[in-house]
Amino acid sequence: MKKQTKINKLWGSAFSQKPSEAVIVFTAGRDVVSTPPADVALLPYDLWVNKTHCVMLATQGIIPIADAAKILFGLAKLETLAKTGKFILDPAKEDVHTNIESWLTEKLGIEIAGKLHTARSRNDQVIADSALYLKDKMLAFIQESVALASVMMKLAKEYETTIFPGFTHHQHAMVTTLGHIFAGFATMVLRDAKKFTHWLAVHNTSPLGSVVAYGTTNPIDPFYTAKLLGFAKPVTNSLDAITNRWEAEADLAYPIASLMNHLSSIAQTLIIWATPEFGMVKLSDQYSTGSSIMPQKKNPDPLEVMKGKASFVQGQLMSLLGIGKANFIGYNRDSQWTKYLIMDLVDECQPAPAVLAGVLETMTINKDGMAGWCTKGFIGATTLMEQLVIKFHLPMRQAKVLVEKAVKYSQGKDIVNYGAMLKTLKEIKLDCKITRKEIRAWQNPEVIISLTQSPGGPGKAALGESLEELSNEVKVLNSWLNTQYQQIFQSKALLEKEIAKIIKKGNI
């Protein structure tokens, strides 16, 4: 009996290393894996909001302590079931809020469980859930972005003197360093990380207590619930909170779209660098995929998928803005779809920074190939022109004409040669005592870098200053993150302390 070959994928036999599972998931998308229901993601946040609301109701004397204790004890049991995967949302019960309340009603009866929904609506409840979800995802994106930028900064330091051809119009244009390029990538990503922090500055408010947009006659304490949920304060206006259930989502979608645009640009750059025609980098097998028919192919699929996801984000962002453009005051059911849009967006994009970090850390750099392009196609012409201006005090436009003509007379030489320069000087009747040595030196890649000292540029001192500034930004962002996570921890700890008091008073 012949041994049968087991096939899990239609490619990969030529690979020395298997792509990571994270890469496979990132590139496969939803081809064979379904997306969980949106309210599965909201379940832990809805439990948090329920516990907070119950504690507030009891503290304010709106419901009896004994009833609150039983509800809180029930929520604790339900939370344990949820964490172990034993609480499954029933589609017949419409949403996560009804599922939880139904479970409590079955266990405690409507006489007790029916009191939990006092002084609130599903409107302020789901917006509170979503705000907590968005806050968590915002912090995660910052963390992932800072980690990616740190990888880029490490590479910038490692390759700070590696000569590299800078491009404009997809053509090599001026000499720079690979370190300068990586520092540029890090600058983009850290700027996006800072954009996420602005989201919290605007949206760190609790909507719980807004009810259906017009408040409640119950003596609630929204400042207390805001504190237990880790928000800075309650919303300023209950109508605004309910009517604009799209804005926090759209405001988070924008920095994600900005980040993905930058990652897409970096991905496209790496794809081009990795082509045989450029041959500047080689992608690791771990971050490549194969072909179902061509045995030799190793494709940059994770990077191509990065570009596709960047376009996907922009579509989701436009949809979020569209939902918010014509809301009549109060709750509108169409705003429910903001939940699906932002969750799909987050799920698709959150792995992207880590995937790109892996690509960068594992790829092979062809230093010789890069250096080779720094001696071709008159790439030193701009520096030659600038040095003519500096040394001989020529008007920039005159120096440009001079070098342009010298380039024309040097065709086929890759650099401007001495004979072409002399011919041009004679032709335009310019007395400029430039030497053969100067012409060669000012087109030499290493000399060009040593002469380039402008801030933010590839010169060693300038690059060092840039990396120091980026390192300080990383420190500030990490400190900010630690503060936010500490505040969340403290809020949850305070909530559990308050719950313990009520359960003790209620003799549970």
- The whole-angstrom separation of Cα 201 and Cα 328 is 26
- The whole-angstrom separation of Cα 142 and Cα 193 is 5
Torsion sign (Cα): 270, 276, 281, 284: positive
Structural contact between residues 320 and 341, judged by C-beta atoms closer than 8 angstroms: yes
Pick from 362, 351, 356: nearest CA to 283: 362
Structural contact between residues 50 and 228, judged by C-beta atoms closer than 8 angstroms: no
* Cβ-defined contacts of 8-17 (< 8 Å, 24+): 9/290, 10/290, 10/292, 11/289, 11/290, 11/291, 11/292, 11/297, 12/290, 13/295, 14/290, 14/295, 14/296, 14/298, 15/285, 15/288, 15/290, 15/298, 16/285, 17/284, 17/285, 17/286
Structural contact between residues 378 and 410, judged by C-beta atoms closer than 8 angstroms: yes
Amino acid residing at 72: L
- The whole-angstrom separation of Cα 72 and Cα 74 is 5
Crossing angle (nearest 10°) for helices 460-505 and 178-203: 30
**Among this protein's residues, is 291 annotated catalytic?**
yes
Catalytic residue among 291, 311, 450, 479: 291
Tokens of 479: 């400190």
Which are the contacts of 318, defined by CB distance < 8 A and separation ≥ 6?
A: none
Catalytic residue among 13, 16, 34, 169: 169
DSSP character string of 318-336:
HHHHHHHTTPPSS--GGGG
**Among this protein's residues, is 169 annotated catalytic?**
yes
DSSP conformation class of 289:
B
Structural contact between residues 127 and 207, judged by C-beta atoms closer than 8 angstroms: yes
166: helix, strand or coil: strand
Phi-psi region of 484 (alpha: psi -120 to 50; beta: other; left: phi over 0): alpha
- The whole-angstrom separation of Cα 139 and Cα 482 is 10
* The three-state (H, E, C) secondary structure of 389-413, written as one string: HHHHCCCHHHHHHHHHHHHHHCCCC
Tokens of 137: 């995802």
Distances (CA, A) of 387 to 98, 153, 444, 451: 74, 31, 13, 9
182: helix, strand or coil: helix
Distances (CA, A) of 110 to 66, 102, 105, 113: 15, 9, 5, 5
- Cite the active site residues: 169, 291
